[in-house]
Amino acid sequence: MKIRKMMKRYCPKCKKHTEQKVSQSKKKTPFSTHPLAKAGKKRRGFGHGFGNRGTRGSKPAIGSFKMTGKKSSKKTDFRYECKECKKIWVQKKGFRAKKIEFT
Ligand SMILES: [Zn+2]
């Protein structure tokens, strides 16, 4: 998907439409946004594996042959930088796209 580098958007600080620079932030893992949350996490529950991982029975673990829970596209995470007040606004809702191109 092609995205324009400069966009005219509404800036709540300037209270008018201004030229804003669009950029995509880095891909984040769940704990990079809240690093301290990792420290207190106990190795328990759903996050730490579920089931017996196919060790019992003849079938391999379902995760090894099926694309379960895997999405091939990522949600966009745009930042809009207002040219006039230099404030950066984060987009409200991302949409799924495999590839983002800035033109
Ligand atoms: Zn502004």
* pLDDT tens per residue across span 5-61: 999 999 999 999 999 999 988 666 666 667 777 766 655 555 566 666 666 666 677
DSSP for 72-89?
SSEE--EEEEETTT--EE
Alpha helical stretches, state H, 1-103:
30-33, 35-39, 62-65
Q: How confident is the model at residue 89 (pLDDT cuts 50, 70, 90)?
A: very high
The CA distance from 77 to 26, in Å, is 8
Give the distance (Å) from ligand 1 centre to CA of residue 67.
44
Give the distance (Å) from ligand 1 centre to CA of residue 27.
26
More confident residue, 99 or 14: 14
Q: What is the pLDDT of residues 68-80, one digit of tens each?
A: 777 788 888 899 9
